[in-house]
Structures are given as structure tokens and as C-alpha cells.
Structure 1
Amino acid sequence: MDFDQYLTSLDGWSAYHGFKKMDIQPGLDVDRMFYKESSEASKMGVVDRFLYIKKVPDNINAEWARKFSSGLFEYSRQYKQTFGRFFRSMMIVNPVMAVDTISRELYDFIMSYCPKQFKAMEFPAILQLSTNDLYLYQKTPFWGALYYDGIRKSTSDYFSPKRWEQISQNQK
């Protein structure tokens, strides 16, 4: 699947999961942005969830990936504050970088990057377009024991073409 085909599928699956496709503000360097507000008991109330995807060169390094992810987290935090709900709800941000082939450095980054935030989660992933594999943090930090499994599952549900296939098969 090439990136344009992926974006078309992502648009459909994001709508399926209840996300709204957002207009991309000038200066925000992403290919797509989606937003959803929901109530989730496991996350103790209202959850604001932001999804981002960007096609990036295969040779980006871990520092670039960290800045990309943390920059989108900060953008989402500012966006959420405009609604005056920063302290009343949880925020989950999924910045996803799409590459043709994942480098070892990028793989090591995504398997070790787990920033701790207050009432928020920055949970990046990397989609390898050549195989449709989605790479994301696999460990569960002590402070995330209540919800990390769910975050991994939902991130796969939202971004993984392989997971979309499974969901489609289960609906038949």
C-alpha cells in the first residue's frame, strides 16, 4: 500500500472510530490530523484524543522523531487549553511517522520512548509502509499499568492496516 492509499484508508477508519478530520493549521507539519472527545471509565472521565500522521524520510534520526512527537503533544495541549478543559480531562496524543522502511535507530527509539505526562499520554508509533507493520512502545510503565494495554490496542485499531483487516474479517 502506498502512502496515498493509506491516507484514504485512514480517513475511513478514523471516521469509523468516531474521529473528526481536522483542518491542518499553517505551520503544523503533518499530512492528517484527527480529533475525538469521548468518555472512558478506564481513563477516569473525558478523553481528548489527537491522531497525527506524517510521511517522513527513512533516514530521520531518533532526535528528530522525539522532537516531532513532543512538538505535536505540545500543540495538542495548547489546542485543548483553548477549550478550558486542560485540568478536567485526559489527553492522548498519537503522532505517527510513516516510513517506507524503518531504520534500526528509529526502531530503537520507538521501543524505548515513553515520556511521562500529567493527565496525558504522548504515544507515538511508526508505520512501515513496505510491510504495513506498526511499531509502538511495548512495555508497561508502573504509572501506566491501568491503561497502557488499552492504549496499545487502540493505537493499532486506529493506524494499523493489518489490524483493519482483522476488524473487517471479524465483522463478516
Structure 2
Amino acid sequence: MFCYKCGTRIPDGGKFCPACGTAAQGSTAASQPAPQPAEPFPQPSPITQATSNGAMPFEDYRSLLEGRLGIGQFVPELNAWMYYSEEFRIKWGASKMKKYVFLSAFEKLDAQALRTYSDACIKHALKIYQGLPRGFQTGVSSFAIAASNAVGQDAVDLALQIPPKHYAAFELPVIADLQNRRICHMQRTPMWGALLWKDIRNFATACAKFE
């Protein structure tokens, strides 16, 4: 074997050139451990979102409404909170609508309880109403929101029906299902007051929704 660098003969078994000290071809330095691949960087666990938020407490729902309607006034005879506002629109024939929103909690809500509650709310709104006689470019709307964790199907059926007719006044019972976080009210447009019903329904949805 000869040194590839200077050509000097390297004795058999020699690892280095006796002349220049270059390592003989085929020889290797002390073996080094082979580099190991880096361990993969741990990935973060995926975030799991709950599939159901569960029932909303009544007080949380009331706070949600007050964020939209302002602070309410408690009406003992109705066992309900009342929120008042007014709205004027040209498309209503340059008329003003005085809106009374009522909110009460029910341990169990059936059709009879909803009918009795909504009837009491519209009567209370008409009793405390002040201003020009109803019908003289002014009207009254009553929104009876009944909140419950146990809503019967008969109550839902009633809420979807056309409510009783009143002179220059509108009554709309609204169910707030706290267990399933959804609302329910009439979706149809009665012939009487047809010009206003769409806006009345939209207002009910906007103030009572759970989002």
C-alpha cells in the first residue's frame, strides 16, 4: 500500500504514512455514533368544543334581554319584568308604535299558562298606555315572553297560531325555551294589521333571540 498523498510505501497493516503521516486509504478514525433523527415536535391536542351548551339560567337570559332593551321594571301582578320603547316609521302611515315587552319565568309552560300570561300582558299594556287615542297614528304592541326549561308542545302550537285581534293593538306571545336555547312565535301575517306584522315579528326575534 502506498500513500496517496506522497507515494511513500506504507507497511502492511499500517494506518499512517511513515513520511507525511497521512492516514492510509481504507482506514477510518474511531467510529462516531451515527446522528439520530430528532424526535418529532409534539403536536398540540385538538381543541374539543362542547356539542351542547345546556340550559341557560333565567337570570342570564334576562341579562341578555336587558343588554338590548335596557333595565326593566318588575310588575308584581304579572310576576314579570316589563321593558318599554317607542318607534316611529313613515311606512306605518307616519305612525308611532308603543312597545311593551314582558318577561316571566315558568317552571312548566303549557298552552293554558301561555294564553293566560299573554292575555294579562296585553291588558296591562292597554291599562297603562298614555298618549293619543289608539288608532290616531299610534298603536300598542305587547310581547309576552315566557321563559321555561320545560316547554310543552301545546304551548308551541299556541305560539304559532294567530293571536287574538285588538283595536290598534298587537299581541304576540313568545316562547323562550331555555333548555334548547331557541325561541318560538307566530310566523304568519294576519290580514288585519298586515302592514305592521312583519316588523312586529322581526322585533320579537331581535329582542328575544339567544345569540
Question: 2:75 and 2:189 mapped to 1: Cα distance?
Answer: 33
The superposition leaves residues 95-153 of structure 1 with CA deviations (integer Å, 9 ceiling, x where unpaired) of 01001132111111111142111111001100101121110011111223222222111
The equivalent of 2:26 in structure 1 is: none
Aligned to 1:23: 73
More helix by share: 1
1:46–1:132 Cα change, 3 Å: same
Larger Rg: 2
Q: Is the 8 A contact 1:102 1:128 kept in 2?
A: yes
Kept after mapping to 2: 8 A contact 1:47/1:91: yes
- Equivalent pairs counted in the alignment come to 153
Matches within 5 A, 1:63-74: 63-74=112-123
Structure 2 CA distance for aligned equivalents of residues 26 and 126 of structure 1: 20
C-alpha separation in 2, matches of 1:124 and 1:78: 18
Superposition pairs of residues 4-153 of structure 1, within 5 angstroms: 4-15=59-70, 21-30=71-80, 32-44=81-93, 45-58=95-108, 60-80=109-129, 83-87=130-134, 88=136, 89-153=138-202
Deviations along 1:21-42, whole A, 9 cap, x unmatched? 3432442321x21001221223
* Structure 2 letter corresponding to 1:74: K
The one-letter code of the counterpart of 1:79 is: I
Aligned residue for 2:121, secondary structure, equals helix
Give structure 1 regions of 4+ aligned residues with deviation exceeding 4 angstroms.
none
Higher relative contact order (CA 8 A, sep 6+): 1
CA-based RMSD: 1.6
TM-score (norm 1): 0.81
Unaligned stretches of 5+ in structure 2?
A: 1-55
SS at match of 1:118: coil
TM-score (norm 2): 0.67
Whole-Å separation in 2 of the counterparts to 1:140 and 1:113: 8
Q: Does the 8 Å CA contact 1:43/1:90 hold for their aligned counterparts?
A: no
CA contact (8 A) 2:107 2:148 kept: yes
Between the aligned partners of 1:91 and 1:25, the Cα distance in structure 2 is: 18
Q: Percent identity?
A: 21
Q: For 1:3, which of 58, 68, 89 is the aligned residue? A: 58
Which residue of the partner structure matches residue 166 of structure 1?
none
Counterparts of 2:139 and 2:209, CA distance in 1: 23
Q: Name the aligned partner's letter for residue 61 of structure 1.
A: D
